[in-house]
Amino acid sequence: MPDLSTSYMGIKLKSPIIASSSGLTNSLQDIIELEKNGVGAIILKSLFEEEIVTEMEHELHKMHSENYLYPETMEFYEGYDVEDTLTSYLRLIDECKKQVNIPIIASINCISSHNWPYFAKSLEEAGADGLELNISILPSDPEASSLENEKVLFDIIKAVKSEVSIPVAVKISSYFSNLAGIISQISRTGVDGIVMFNRFYSPDIDIDTFDVIPAPIYSSPDDYILPLRWISIMSERVGCDLIASTGVHDGKTLIKMILAGATAVQVASTLYKNGYAQVQLMLNELKNWMANKDFSNIEQIKGMLSQSRSVNPAGYLRIQFMKHFAQK
Ligand SMILES: Cc1cc2nc3c(=O)[nH]c(=O)nc-3n(C[C@H](O)[C@H](O)[C@H](O)COP(=O)(O)O)c2cc1C
d(CA 238, CA 15): 22
Q: For the chain, list the domains and their CATH numbers.
A: 6-327 (3.20.20.70)
Mean pLDDT calculated for residue range 156-161: 93
Dist CA 280 CA 297 (whole Å): 18
- Ligand 1 pocket (Cβ < 6 Å) reads 20-23, 45-46, 107, 109, 134, 171, 198-199, 217-219, 245-248, 267-270
Closest CA to 111 of 66, 54, 62: 54
pLDDT in tens, 36-71: 999 999 999 999 876 666 666 665 555 555 444 444
Nearest C-alpha to atom 24 of ligand 1 is from which residue?
A: 246
| pLDDT at residue 104 in the model | 98
* pLDDT band, residue 164 (cuts 50/70/90): very high
Query: How do residues 76-115 score in pLDDT, each as one tens digit?
Result: 445 554 458 889 999 999 999 999 999 999 999 887 767 7
pLDDT of amino acid 303: 97
Q: Find, among 246, 239, 181, 191, the residue nearest to 220 by Cα.
A: 246
Rg, Å, the chain Cα set: 21
Instruction: Kindly tell me the sign of the dihedral angle through the C-alpha atoms of 160, 164, 165, 168.
Output: negative
DSSP result, 95-151: HHHHH--S-EEEEEEES-SSSHHHHHHHHHHHT-SEEEEEE------TTS-HHHHHH
Cβ atoms 156, 162 nearer than 8 A: no
Q: What is the pLDDT of residue 70?
A: 42
Amino acid at 101: N
From ligand 1's centre to the CA of 95, what distance in Å? 22
195 within 8 A of 243, measured Cβ to Cβ: yes
Higher pLDDT, 269 or 136: 269
Q: For the chain, what's the residue count?
A: 328
Residue 23 parent element (H or E): none
pLDDT score recorded for residue 223: 97
- Closest ligand 1 atom, CA of 266? 26
For residues 17 and 5, what is the distance between their CA atoms, to the nearest angstrom?
A: 10
**The pLDDT of residue 9:** 94
pLDDT at 114: 73
**Mean pLDDT of the region 249-270:** 98
Nearest to 24 by CA among 298, 239, 272: 272
Q: Whose CA is closest to 122, among 106, 140, 100, 101?
A: 106
Pocket test for ligand 1, best of 20, 51, 92 (most atoms within 8 A of CB): 20
Closest ligand 1 atom, residue 198 Cα: 19
pLDDT of residue 85: 86
Q: How far is CA 281 from CA 111, 191, 193, 275, 278, in A?
A: 37, 32, 26, 11, 5
Output the pLDDT for position 322: 65
Distance 286 CA to ligand 1 centre (A): 23
The 10 Å Cβ neighbour count of residue 151 is 14
Distance 47 CA to ligand 1 centre (A): 13
The pLDDT of residue 65: 52
Phi-psi domain of 21 (left: phi exceeds 0; alpha: psi -120 through 50; beta: other):
beta
pLDDT at 235 over 90: yes
Q: Which residues contact 183 (CB under 8 A, 6 or more apart)?
A: 172, 194, 196, 230, 234, 238
Mean pLDDT throughout 217-224? 97
Q: What is the mean pLDDT of the chain?
A: 89
Q: H or E segment at 320?
A: none
Taking residues 30-41, report their average pLDDT: 98
Per-residue model confidence (pLDDT) at position 82: 42
- Any idea which of 99-103, 186-190, 316-320 has the lowest mean pLDDT? 316-320
Confidence of residue 24 (pLDDT cuts 50, 70, 90): very high
Cβ atoms 40, 16 nearer than 8 A:
yes
Take atom 23 of ligand 1 and give the residue whose Cα is closest: 246
